[in-house]
């Protein structure tokens, strides 16, 4: 292998075009080698993205011996199939969140990765933004006293009459899968523990359809996490941590690039009376950091910081929340 990981991308998802392709192209240890699209626009997509090679099928790209790793931003219900196919072809895999739609699928991915000795990681890119590490430092330093509650919201308005894949149950649609998974992940990451019980209520698009909004309570030891997500509410992607002596607010937690104030992350520390003690900003591209981290793992045979076990645990929580809604 060269000093750069040669990446292939399965599909022409918007997140690949807007965020991952620029990150791969900017990364010091990665390069975009190929793109595969089964929509009949592979050549057009490759030209638009600056990929030197294109394939009309995912399988053909996976058989290319010059591709080291693949990024998979396909619909959620297709993740398990193509992650395992990629692994069987010896490719390292970065797969969009949620990695799968069931915890059993995550187990199957992990087993395949061990059998074929490749790296794989779920692409919760937001976790690589430095604002979250600072939040954890504040908590560890006792800045807000004893933590009592975590709150998180991730929502945006979606045309509910459209054919958007987020509204397709067979493709793994639903607000909890799409944006709520971030809130679940953040609660576990910031609190550095797993919930002992969960409860959720969802508003369905139609009877036996996907959830267009979900609200949930996750019970951790001594701390409750309240999370909500929606396809029918104004844009929001924030979390806050409340303690006995104050609050920490992160107003652009999951997509700091959407912050109209320069696309930066923000961490606001408030005292027990809600007076602002500190307001720090963090400029970073978590997509770039994620690509360079995973590429480094591939090049130097390291384990990704976000483990398969944590991916499994996150999916178990999401499964339990959906079960609670029935």
Residues classed as catalytic: 97
Q: To which H or E segment does residue 186 belong? A: helix 181-191
Backbone φ and ψ for 100, nearest 5 degrees, come out as -160, -175
Contacts of 239 (CB under 8 A, 6+ apart): 150, 151, 152, 153, 183, 186, 187, 190, 250, 253
Q: How far apart are the first and last CA of the chain?
A: 49
Strand order of the sheet with strand 246-250?
A: 197-204, 211-220, 223-230, 147-155, 236-243, 246-250, 265-271, 276-282
Q: How far apart are CA 75 and CA 13, in angstroms?
A: 9
At 166, give phi and psi (nearest 5°): -65, -15
Distance of CA 45 to the CA centre of its chain: 23
CB 82 within 8 A of CB 74: yes
At 221, is the secondary structure helix, strand, or coil?
A: coil
Nearest to 186 by CA among 263, 106, 131: 131
Phi-psi region of 262 (alpha: psi -120 to 50; beta: other; left: phi over 0): left
- In angstroms, the CA 40 to CA 43 distance is 8
Q: In whole angstroms, give the CA distance from residue 56 to residue 167.
A: 26
What's the rounded Cα separation, in Å, for the pair 143 and 249?
Answer: 13
């Amino acid at each position: 292998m060269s000093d750069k990981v040669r990446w292939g991308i399965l599909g022409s998802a918007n997140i690949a075009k807007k965020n991952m392709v620029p990150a791969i192209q900017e990364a010091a240890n990665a390069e975009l080698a190929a793109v595969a699209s089964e929509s009949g626009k592979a050549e057009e997509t490759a030209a638009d993205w600056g990929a030197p090679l294109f394939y009309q099928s995912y399988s053909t790209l996976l058989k290319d011996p010059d591709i080291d790793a693949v990024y998979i931003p396909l619909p959620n219900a297709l993740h398990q199939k193509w992650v395992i196919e990629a692994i069987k072809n010896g490719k390292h895999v970065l797969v969009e969140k949620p990695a799968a739609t069931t915890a059993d699928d995550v187990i199957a991915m992990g087993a395949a990765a061990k059998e074929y000795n490749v790296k794989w990681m779920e692409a919760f890119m937001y976790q690589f933004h430095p604002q979250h590490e600072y939040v954890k430092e504040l908590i560890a330093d006792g800045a807000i006293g004893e933590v009592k509650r975590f709150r998180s919201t991730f929502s945006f308005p979606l045309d509910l009459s459209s054919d958007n894949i987020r509204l397709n149950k067979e493709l793994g649609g639903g607000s909890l899968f799409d944006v709520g998974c971030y809130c679940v992940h953040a609660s576990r990451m910031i609190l550095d523990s797993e919930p002992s019980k969960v409860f959720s209520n969802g508003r369905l698009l139609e009877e036996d359809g996907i959830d267009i909004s979900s609200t949930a309570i996750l019970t951790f030891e001594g701390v409750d996490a309240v999370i909500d997500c929606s396809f029918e509410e104004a844009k929001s992607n924030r979390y806050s941590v409340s303690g006995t002596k104050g609050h920490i607010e992160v107003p652009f937690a999951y997509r700091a690039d959407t912050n109209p104030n320069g696309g930066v992350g923000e961490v606001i520390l408030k005292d027990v009376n809600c007076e602002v003690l500190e307001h720090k900003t963090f400029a970073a591209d978590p997509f770039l950091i994620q690509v360079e981290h995973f590429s480094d793992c591939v090049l130097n045979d390291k384990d990704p910081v976000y483990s398969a076990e944590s991916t499994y645990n996150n999916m178990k929580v999401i499964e339990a929340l959906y079960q609670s809604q029935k």
